[in-house]
Amino acid sequence: MKKIITIVVAVILVGLVAFRLVGNKEKINAGNTVKDDNNVSATVNAAKAEKRLTNQNLNLLGTLTANQVIDIKSEVQGKVTKLYVELGDYVKKGQIIARIDNRIQSLALDNAEQALADAKQNYGRYKNLYEGGAASKAQYDQYKLAYDNAQNQLAQAKKQLSNSSVVAPVSGQITNKAVEAGSFATPGTSIATVVDISKLKVDLSVAESDAYALNTGDSVAITSSVYPGITYQGKITFISPRGDEAHNYPVEVAFTNQQGHPLKAGTYVNVAFQRKSQVPTLQIPRDALVGSTQNAQVYIIEDSIAFLRPVTVGTDNGNYLEVLKGLKEGDQVVTTGQINLSDSTKVKVVK
């Protein structure tokens, strides 16, 4: 009897232990289970994409180009007898920079002068004969044509002789010397290159919305890190009537170089346009941007759900960014709370 009672008690104890273990396991599993509560929403602030006028300066980076860069070429054939310039020399317009052997041109001039004298004499004689009825009209016209041709030949010979003296077509600095004294030149041979930096130009590519806010003749401020605190006053000299496939328009700005702070062609400069936008553009607060402007994204809210969407950003207007692609006017974008979001997160807008 005792043995039976002992067995029954043991069975009951084993059953209690097993029940307790099962209960503990259920509690542990319940603690590890993540509840999916669809009623929980992330709290965010939001704003609408809207069209705005921009009255801030437009700042663009550009590279200076010289007012004129001219490759001076020989117009006659012959040996370079004299070269009067070295690299870096400043030359004035009309200054002789080289001479080319002109003996052939001098002989051609002498021959042309003699030919003109003969043609003039014959023309005068036949003119008198024609007026006296002793020569025909055809004979008169023949000698008159010969006289006119001789005058043209003499003018060409004088021009060829003058071309043996190579002159600077503009004032500027010599940046390339292509020949040395004793070299043989032919028509088209490069002698030297002169660069005029008394005036400088900046060629820029301006977005469509900005290009429509600019006008030829508008003043611009130009600065460079080369001369901190120095400002050069320039003007817009050209706005292309035709944009490229990306809707950018070539714009040229020109200004006079300063003698006290001379800039060189090829220098980076900042060009500040006093832009007064006349065309509103679609913009969003800068705070709405997720990532960089090169890989821009925003969270757009639709039916209380935040969806991550890529956008194309245009001009940086300080607290606002122009949106070229990816949004439409009136779209609601998240401005704060993005750190708690992922694509398709339920949200509650508090502002």
Reported confidence tier of residue 39, pLDDT bands at 50, 70, 90: low
Reported confidence tier of residue 291, pLDDT bands at 50, 70, 90: confident
Q: What is the pLDDT of residue 56?
A: 61
72 close to 351: Cβ distance less than 8 angstroms: no
Q: Which of 321, 318, 264 is nearest to 291 (CA)?
A: 321
Stretch 133-141: mean pLDDT: 89
Looking at the DSSP assignment, which residues form a beta bridge with residue 91? Answer: 172
Q: Is 339 exposed, middle or buried (0-12, 13-18, 19+ CB in 10 A)?
A: exposed
Tell me which of 33 and 152 has the higher pLDDT: 152
Q: What is the DSSP letter of 124?
A: H
β-pairing, 345-349 vs 42-48, is: parallel
Summarised one tens digit per residue, pLDDT across range 205-237 is: 998 878 888 899 999 999 999 999 999 999 999
Summarised one tens digit per residue, pLDDT across range 62-87 is: 999 999 999 999 999 999 999 999 99
pTM of the predicted model, to two decimals?
Answer: 0.55
43 close to 335: Cβ distance less than 8 angstroms: no
Radius of gyration of the chain (CA): 43
The per-residue DSSP string of 251-284 comes to: EEEEEEPPSSS---TT-EEEEEE-----S-EEEE
**Residues of 185-224 as b/e, b for ≥16 C-beta within 10 angstroms?**
beeebebbbbbbbeebbbebebbebbbebbeeebebbbbb
Q: Is 3 exposed, middle or buried (0-12, 13-18, 19+ CB in 10 A)?
A: exposed
Q: Which of 12-21, 30-39, 327-336 has the lowest mean pLDDT?
A: 30-39
Query: Which residues are within 8 A (CB) of 327 and not within 5 positions of it... i.e. 6 or more apart?
Result: 49, 282, 284, 298, 300, 309, 311, 333
CA 37 to chain centre: 54
Residue 153 has pLDDT above 80, yes or no: yes
> Could you give all domains of the chain from N- to C-terminal order, each with its CATH number?
43-53+280-349 (2.40.420.20), 58-67+195-273 (2.40.30.170), 102-163 (1.10.287.470)
